[in-house]
Amino acid sequence: MIDVVTVAELTAHIRQLFEDEPGLRDVWVEGEVSNFRRAASGHCYFTLKDSAAQIACVLWRSHAERQVMLPENGDAVLVHGAVSVYEASGVYQLYADRVRPLGPGDLHLRFEQLKAKLLAEGLFDAARKRPLPAFPRRIGVVTSADAAAFQDVLNVLRRRYPLGEVILSPCGVQGDAAPAQIAAAIERLNAHDACDVILVCRGGGSLEDLWAFNDERVARAIAASRIPIVSGVGHETDVTITDFAADVRAPTPSAGAELLAPDIADLRLGLAGLRARLSAALAAGLAARANRLERERRALRGASPLRLIERYRQRIDDWNAALATRQQQRLALLRERVNGRQAALAAASPAAILARGYALIAHADTGQRITSAHSPAAQPGAPLVISLHDGQRRARLED
Amino acid sequence: MEDVQTLSFEAAYAELAAIVERLDAAELTLEESVALFERGRALAARCQSLLDEAALRVGRLEDNGTVTPLG
């Protein structure tokens, strides 16, 4: 008896064979894209081929939207997916969930081309770079609200700069729609004048994950921003067009957060320093005034008439002393001289002569001294007083 | 002169730094320097309290320009 199956049953069987085969469930295929077509539904259809063969591919909308960029005809790509059967057409095809540009070629090439183009336009010129505000009050952050990077940024700012306010301008940071959203998020912050500085950031990932930050729209939105922009995309080693266009490039989101505001610990130190200098400056000013006052008081004292008077008073004292000394010397001299004369006088005194045996004779009534034998007072019978050295005797002249 | 209590950290810090420079350099009357010192002390206290009380605020910018606080 012949086993008859329907087409549907046969096809279902074939499909089951494909789906049970491990080597077809999780496969990377390398090839060149052709006949690329995106349907109105958002699903994409293309053919992957090499020089020897070709396979039909489907990229459902849900996967297509997660693609950094959709492939174009002629692109060499790596496609990941599972092979199965489309029963309605009786064809097997590759149900792709990821399409990656192949090798160092495409993405790097586009990166270099865009970089060269914007560089030539002067978009990256050092002269365009704006300084960051020293104390940003409001910090705009352009990233996804759910991103770990956003939490990293908040943690850094809570620890280092709680003085500020963070204004999240949310956007996707990955996939086809992200570049337009990032650009819009930057423009929104500018339009509402919502912050003093902007951090555009995203955590680390593959080149494809970061690709939105290599988009020309993002670069132009950064260049057009009135508000200075810091970029912090990926890890240290990742460099994006966004980094070149930004005013300051930070290696990571956290580093960007550190870079765009001072550390509160430094502010505390700076404040303590200013406080000390404030007190020292006042103290120094007061000390300088006290010094000046003392100097002037001294100068005033030097110029005072009192001082002149004191000087003269002293001089007068000096003179008085000199005068007294001189006087005493003179008195001593005189005293000596008087003593000498007294001695001479004493030697010449009549008493001394009388003591040697001489006598003085005077008329007793008139007191007239009789110094000659022929003195008229020496009449016979005249009363006389004879003075001897130890007393007087009376006598009468006989002849 | 602006009321110290309404000044932002940035403004208070900048004015404080300027006052220290003036006190250091300028020939001032005693009254002027004492007044500057008093102002400087108030500014320093303002900065200190802003630093001590600071708590990061976080908000989300809406399309219409308003900011919604984020927990």
State the pLDDT at residue A357: 84
Cα of A189 to nearest chain B Cα, Å: 8
CB contact under 8 A, A289 and B30: yes
Using a CB-CB distance cutoff of 8 angstroms, which residues of chain A are in contact with residue B18? none
What's the complex ipTM? Answer: 0.88
The two structure tokens encoding residue A13: 């069987």
| Measured distance CA(B41)–CA(B58) in Å, rounded | 31
The confidence score (pLDDT) of residue A184 equals 97
The answer to whether the CB atoms of A166 and B59 lie below 8 A apart is: yes
Among all residues of chain A, which has the CA nearest to that of B63?
Answer: A188
Q: How far is CA B16 from CA A1, A277, B26, in A?
A: 104, 10, 15
Distances (CA, A) of B61 to A140, A151, A187, A299, B68: 9, 17, 12, 71, 7
What would the mean pLDDT of A13-31 be, rounded to a whole number?
Answer: 91
Determine whether the interchain pair B59/A169 forms a contact, defined as Cβ–Cβ distance below 8 Å.
no
Residues on chain A touching B41 (C-beta within 8 angstroms): 278
Contact residues on chain A for B33, CB-CB shorter than 8 A: 282, 285
Of B23, B58, B63, the CB nearest to A285: B23
CA distances from A248 to A107, A186, A222 (A): 24, 15, 11
Contacts of B26 in chain A (CB under 8 A): none
Band of the pLDDT at A105, cuts 50, 70, 90?
Answer: low
What pLDDT does residue A314 have?
Answer: 85
Q: What is the three-class DSSP state of A392?
A: strand
Distance, in Å, from the CA atom of A129 to the CA atom of A333, rounded to the nearest integer, reads 108
Q: How far apart are CA A44 and CA A66, in angstroms?
A: 13
With an 8 Å Cβ cutoff, the interface of chain B facing chain A consists of 8-10, 13, 16-17, 19-20, 23-24, 28, 30, 33-34, 37, 40-41, 44, 47-48, 50-51, 54-61, 63, 65, 67, 70
- Gyration radius of chain B's alpha carbons: 17
Residues of chain A contacting residue B56, judged by C-beta atoms under 8 Å apart: 154, 157-158, 161-162, 164-166
Residue A377 CA from chain centroid, whole number: 133
Residues from chain B that touch A278, judged by Cβ atoms under 8 A, are 16, 19-20, 23, 37, 40-41, 44
| pLDDT range class, residue A103, cuts 50, 70, 90 | low
Q: Which residues, numbered 158 to 217 in chain A, qualify as contacts with chain B under a Cβ-Cβ cut-off of 8 Å? A: 158, 161-170, 188-189, 191-192, 194
CA atoms lying within 13 Å on the CB side of residue A378: 10
Residue pLDDT, tens place only, A239-260: 899 999 999 999 999 999 999 9
Alpha helices in chain A (DSSP H): 7-20, 22-25, 61-64, 106-121, 148-160, 178-191, 216-224, 241-245, 253-259, 264-303, 305-348, 350-355
Please give the Cα distance from A66 to A206 (Å, whole number). Answer: 14
Q: Across the interface, do B51 and A271 touch by the CB < 8 Å criterion?
A: yes
To the nearest whole Å, the CA of B1 is away from the closest chain A CA by: 19
Q: For residue range A322-355, what is the model confidence (pLDDT) as tens digits?
A: 989 999 999 999 999 988 888 888 777 777 788 8
Residue A399: pLDDT over 90: no
Q: What is the mean pLDDT of residues A291-302?
A: 86
What is the tens place of the pLDDT at every residue in A80-97? 999 999 999 999 999 999
Write down the pTM of the prediction.
0.57
Q: What percentage of chain A reaches a pLDDT higher than 70?
A: 99
What pLDDT shows up at residue A390? 87
| Confidence class for position A142, pLDDT limits 50, 70, 90 | very high
pLDDT at A321 over 60: yes
Query: One digit per residue, pLDDT tens: chain B, 71 residues?
Result: 778 899 988 899 999 999 999 988 767 888 888 899 999 999 999 999 999 988 999 999 999 989 999 86
Among candidates A358, A365, A361, which has minimal Cα distance to A385?
A: A361
Task: Indicate yes or no: CB of A268 within 8 angstroms of CB of B17.
Answer: no
Query: Is A267 touching B (CB cutoff 8 A)?
Result: yes
